[in-house]
Amino acid sequence: MLTRDMAKELISENILVNGVAPGVITTPFHAQFTPPDLREKPGAVYPYRAGGDAGGDGRDDLVLASPAADYLVGEIIGINGGQMMS
């Protein structure tokens, strides 16, 4: 709701607000603190692959900051390897 409320508030200033909702992202934190059986579980249910890499989200943010997204506002972009399709 914060993303959508900010989008409504700031559209009059030509500021387009969107959100990014990442799925499981492979990071050193998970390697150290998440038990192996939990790290492997998403791979069994994600249509694409288990865990994105931490550098991948930056590319998606670049698209949102580019002119290609000049009509996109108030959206939450799920970057999750198809997790929500399961």
Q: Could you please report the per-residue DSSP string of 33-83?
A: HS-HHHHHHHHHH-SS-S-EETTHHHHHHHHHHSGGGTT--S-EEEESTTG
Which one has a higher pLDDT value, 32 or 43?
32
pLDDT value of residue 80: 75
What is the set of domains in the chain, with CATH numbers? 2-85 (3.40.50.720)
Lookup: tokens for 13: 């200033």
Question: Residue 33: its pLDDT value, please?
Answer: 83
pLDDT tens by residue, 47-83: 665 566 666 545 667 788 889 899 999 999 887 777 7
pLDDT digits (tens, 9 = 90+) for 18-32: 998 877 777 788 778
The reported pLDDT for the residue numbered 28 is 83
The predicted structure's pLDDT at residue 75 = 95
User: 3-class SS at 25?
Assistant: strand
Give me the count of residues in the chain.
86
